[in-house]
Chains A and B, each alone.
Chain A
Amino acid sequence: MFTYVVRRILATIPVMVVVALFVFSLLFIAPGDPAAVIAGDQATPQDVERIRQSLGLDRPFLVQFSDWAWRLLHFDLGRSIFTNLPVSTMIAQRIEPTLSLMVVTLLLSIAVAVPIGVLAAWKAGSWFDRAIMGFAVFGFSVPVFVVGYLLAYFFALQLEWLPVQGYTSISQGLWPWLENLILPSIALGCVYIALIARITRATMLEVLQQDYIRTARAKGLAQGPILFIHALKNASVPIVTVIGIGIALLIGGAVVTESVFAIPGLGRLTVDAILRRDYPVIQGVVLLFSFLYVLVNLAIDLLYTVIDPRIRY
């Protein structure tokens, strides 16, 4: 068990190296001259040369990569071309809204998707099941910003139940914080809920066919405990796996959701960086999110042994 944990943790290192190597080499594999693209159309040759040097594009690839990776190991992500602030500082200033949005969305999605997935499997073929599966297809099809605008239009502009946009720090109180996050997290959660509900239903359908479920029914257990304790527990491994994989959707969607709801987080930082062609900032955000994704999935892998004691390594 212990050796497995160590091996699993070590196995994430090559993945992270590939991520870093790839994100770094984007500068080189991008067609055209990135320095000229970043400098913009009005730039003088001196500007282009200055940017080329600040990105380190004037030196051989391996020299630069080792240099860059060494600094990365010290959490130095370089400096923004536009503000000249360290990228790590800029990210630290903007990380709270994004993490808040993602955590609230994650909790909301699990709280909604798992029960409806279980019920859909229990009532397989019923109108409820069909409605949920129909919703899942819509959830996959309607882009996050469309859902965001619809929600904001009806619940904020028309009904005035919730603020239209903005963000309040959690240090200002729990409700003002949550109030601003409800609509964005529903919008962002739509795809995620569809994904989790679908896998929950599929796995539960399989588990509910098992003999021990029939035994539980035969000995007169109530439907609720059978579904949510006996069956769900055994269906949890694929569900947890999909929750982990779906974090990628959540991360991508957060960038857009933040623009729709004017949340000053990492997504807005990214969008601003795109408009200014501030590549070091984009690089930093991509690296941060990718490492976050790897770590979350590492944690989930290690969690398997806890939720399913039959899994032994």
Chain B
Amino acid sequence: MSPPPAIALPVEHVAAAPVLPDLWPPVKPLRGVMGFLRRHPTVAIGGALLILMVLMAVLAPYLWTVDPTTLNTSRRTRAPSDLYWFGTDMLGRDIYSRVVFGARVSLTVGFAVAILSSIVGLAIGLVSGMLRWADGLIMRVMDGLMSIPPILLAVALMALTRGSIGNVIMAITIAEIPRVSRLVRGVVLSLREQPYVDAAVAAGTRTPMLILRHILPNTIAPMTVQATYICASAMIIEAILSFIGAGVPPTVPSWGNIMAEGRALWQVKPFIVFFPAVFLSITVLAVNLLGDGMRDALDPRLAKAL
């Protein structure tokens, strides 16, 4: 088919646009990633801290000083020293090496829960937002799930399964799904009212394509922010579960487990609890800073409000 003929505008009838005075200095082009990081320092700080923690987790086999699983009854509960940087625990295991390995558990659980609950929550939220007949039922179920405090829901699930990292991830994911699906549903409902979606519907776009091309891309930004917060909260819940004895098995060095082992002795040997606590707090802080920064960068309206 030949292209439609261009409409010839009679040039003499069109007034020239008035030349506007150049009042504002030209906007400087963003200098790539560095410019973005400079404008959002929280992303930079959070990201840097998180990268450090990830490196520590990945390089754990090279960073340890003493085998974290070796028991040695002759050197129990030693205070921090040159040999045992963070001291030793009740069984004589080196706390520094255990803390380094603990980063693996926390980060694995945090990232896995963030990704899994985002995927499932996205699917549920899309269905709920797009299909009116399913919305009522799904949201009643989500309301019910959301009224179970997440930690208790995870505790109940863990009481019924054997302690393992996989089960911890599953338990926390189930507890976090309702929040994601609520968020996605809200975004979908507001997107559906947008004129461009109406236009796409009017142009005959089928529902699957409508979701894929017009709805889904716009849920990515709020979802990413939500996923970082879920990552942070999952790491805290994992530590809490391990701390109260419902998390990863005691043989796995996780920050929550190290603290649980130091619990009985914390009044006399506070360092056992102290070091994993500091690492856990810094990691969660890093992820939260990243989330806050991304929220500000991706949603300027929210940034102004919060």
Contacts and interface: CB of A to CB of B under 8 A. Distances in A.
Partners in one complex: yes
Interface of A: 14-19, 21-23, 26-27, 30-32, 34, 37-38, 137-138, 140-146, 149, 153, 157, 164, 198, 201-202, 205-206, 248-249, 251-253, 255-256, 259-260, 270-271, 273-275, 277, 279, 282-283, 285-286, 289-290, 293-294, 297
Contact of B156 (A23, A137, A256): A23
Interface string B267-302: 100100110010011001100110010000000000
Nearest to B284: A141
A140 B243 contact: no
Contacts of A15: 140, 143-144, 147
B297 to A, nearest CB: 16
A269 to B, nearest CB: 12
B305 interface: yes
B60 interface: no
Contacts of B167: 31
A39 to B, nearest CB: 12
A116 B299 CA distance: 25
Contacts, number: 155
A60 to B, nearest CB: 19
B260 to A, nearest CB: 9
Given A31-B167, A34-B160, A142 B148 contact: no
Interface in B183-225: none
B281 A293 contact: no
B281 A142 contact: yes
Interface stretch (B83-91, B97-105, B232-240): B232-240
A252 B151 contact: yes
Contact of B155 (A34, A253, A274): A274
Most chain A CB atoms below 10 A, which of B145, B148, B266, B280: B148
A137 B144 contact: no
B305 A17 contact: no
Given A26-B156, A153-B270, A283-B156, A18 B149 contact: no
Interface string B107-145: 000000000000000000000000000000000110111
Contacts of B79: none
B280 A146 contact: yes
Given A31-B161, A253-B151, A274-B158, 4 more contacts: A270-B244, A273-B159, A275-B245, A294-B147
Nearest to B282: A141
Nearest to A206: B305
Contact of A37 (B153, B161, B277, B288): B161
Contacts of A259: 243-244, 263
Given A143-B284, A198-B306, A277 B240 contact: no
A14 B147 CA distance: 12
A19 B239 contact: no
B50 interface: no
B144 A286 contact: no
Nearest to B166: A31
Contacts of A164: 267
A37 B160 contact: yes
Given A18-B140, A149-B270, A32 B284 contact: no
Nearest to B244: A271
Contact of B149 (A30, A293, A297): A293
A141 B288 contact: yes
B48 interface: no
Contact of A137 (B143, B285, B305): B285
Contact of B151 (A18, A141, A157, A255): A255
Contacts of B153: 286
A293 B284 contact: no
**A-B pairs with the 7 shortest C-beta distances?**
A18-B144, A252-B151, A30-B160, A141-B285, A146-B277, A248-B149, A251-B149
27 contacts: A18-B141, A21-B144, A22-B148, A26-B157, A30-B160, A34-B160, A34-B161, A37-B161, A138-B285, A142-B284, A142-B285, A143-B239, A143-B280, A143-B281, A146-B281, A149-B270, A149-B277, A153-B270, A249-B149, A252-B149, A252-B150, A260-B263, A274-B158, A274-B159, A279-B156, A285-B152, A290-B149
Contacts of A289: 148-149, 152
Contacts of A23: 148, 156
A18 B143 contact: yes
Most chain A CB atoms below 10 A, which of B232, B239, B281: B281
Contact of B288 (A17, A21, A140, A205): A140
Most chain B CB atoms below 10 A, which of A14, A30, A206: A30
Contact of B152 (A198, A201, A206, A251): A251
Contacts of A18: 140-141, 143-145
B148 A286 contact: yes
A252 B288 CA distance: 19
Contact of A274 (B147, B170, B246): B246
A249 B305 CA distance: 23
B152 A252 contact: yes
